[in-house]
Amino acid sequence: MNRISLSTCVLFCFALTACQDKHIEEITYTANVPVYSTQEQLNELIISKSSKPLESPGKIHINGNRLFIVDRFKGIHVVDNSNPSSPDNMAYINVPGIIDIASRGNILYVDSYDDLLAIDISDIQNIKVIDRDEDVFIPILPPTDNEYPLADIDPAQGVVVGWTVEQITEKREVDQWNNGWGWGVQEDFSTGGGRNDGGIVPLSSPTINNGISGSMARFTTHGSALYALNESELQTYNLADITNPTFTSSVSINRVVETIFPMDGMLFIGTTTGMAIYGLENPLNPTFVSDFNHVTSCDPVVVENDIAYVTLRTGSNCGGWVNQLDVLDISNISSPNLIASYEMTNPHGLGIDDDVLFICDGSDGLKIYDATDKWNITGNQIAHFADIQAYDVIPLEQILLMIGEDGFFQYDYSDLQNIQLISQIPVQ
């Protein structure tokens, strides 16, 4: 009888295993295939054009009489709002990958995929990109219009600016199938570089106008500083030279950050797990003051006097299961306390002006309350515009600027008993 040595058996088993590891199969599937662009190509696309209709309205921002409406991932609509009853959609700035916007004087600060841009709009017909800090933000991938998986992303090919739906045929080793082939695995390909440490430079006096953003903003200017939220960080840029934002500090919030609201030398930061407050004794190096925790949810916040108003909602990447308004007492800034919570439909952005509270309640429209009695806010509803999908607001000198899925709206609330829609720029 023939005998096989133990060593021969081990070698045979090893060879068999190796062959199995190298087994290749051909796979065909349908996926969203990335479309790439180089930085040079993106730079050439950032130009001013004649006005165009709203398509995918997002954040709103106002500086003086100029209103800026972001079309998500596409550009900025520039509106002359000197007459709110008749806004003039005067120009369009093409900015691929834009989500957020802030301003100081005639300089816009915007994101373009993972870069921070400073754009000079002194001549709106001939805008100029005067500064670009590359790779400072965690990149946000453009949305897809279907439920197909995402094909592999190769950062070496450039920035992902869109998708095409294609059939892909690939040869894969069987033992690699469980590593997420093509099924929506989105790599973090931010390098975190491209920033210069400008040191602590004294801020100039804030004699230049800063713009005003809604409660959903991720960027804000305050004094001579720009603050930008980036995943779980608060980044600060010195705007002593408004044409050259200089990175000065980054603070870890230890939460997923979403929105930022400046008030009275403080930054109120909405996160998925609570509100965080940072002080600006040194404006270029914000310091933690306190926080208020809540269930996992999206969390824009606005503040007036000693009261903070926070909306929590479901149905987004934030997670969570509540739709409500929280009212917080921040008279002791070191220890915010909950006054009351009110059930809502699906609240998004909000605004407050002299105890008049404006809430964008998603598909349930715009709701306006007298918030004088903090323990009975929903019992004092002033008006309800239910036929719009409301996203965010800016109350300004008794004119309410509101953005939603259907377009941009302005309301005159100088007479609270007779609030009137005075103008609209619709989505077309």
The beta-strand segments (E) located in 113-157 are 115-120, 128-133
Does residue 131 fall inside a structural domain?
yes
Please write the tens of the pLDDT for every residue from 224-260: 999 999 989 999 999 999 999 999 999 999 888 899 9
| Together in a domain, 155 and 99 | yes
Q: Which CATH number is 293's domain given?
A: 2.130.10.10
Does residue 94 fall inside a structural domain?
yes
Tokens (6 digits) for 339? 């006054």
Please write the tens of the pLDDT for every residue from 340-357: 999 999 999 999 999 999
Please write the tens of the pLDDT for every residue from 11-25: 444 444 444 455 677
Tokens (6 digits) for 324? 């409500």
| Together in a domain, 299 and 411 | yes
- 38 pLDDT band (50/70/90 cuts)? confident
Residues 259, 217 contacting (CB under 8 angstroms): yes
Distance of alpha carbon 295 from alpha carbon 361, whole angstroms? 19
Domain containing 286: what range? 253-428
| Together in a domain, 299 and 355 | yes
| Together in a domain, 169 and 317 | no
Please write the tens of the pLDDT for every residue from 127-170: 999 999 988 888 778 888 778 888 888 888 888 888 889 888 87
| Together in a domain, 38 and 141 | yes
Does residue 109 fall inside a structural domain?
yes
> H or E segment at 42?
helix 39-45
Q: Which of 176, 207, 238 is the last residue of a domain?
A: 207
CA torsion, ordered 346, 349, 353, 358, to nearest 10 deg: -30
| Together in a domain, 164 and 46 | yes
Does residue 242 fall inside a structural domain?
no
Does residue 11 fall inside a structural domain?
no
| Together in a domain, 60 and 197 | yes
pLDDT at 391 (0 to 100):
95
CA torsion, ordered 377, 378, 381, 383, to nearest 10 deg: 120
Tally of structural domains, the chain? 2
Does residue 10 fall inside a structural domain?
no
Does residue 16 fall inside a structural domain?
no
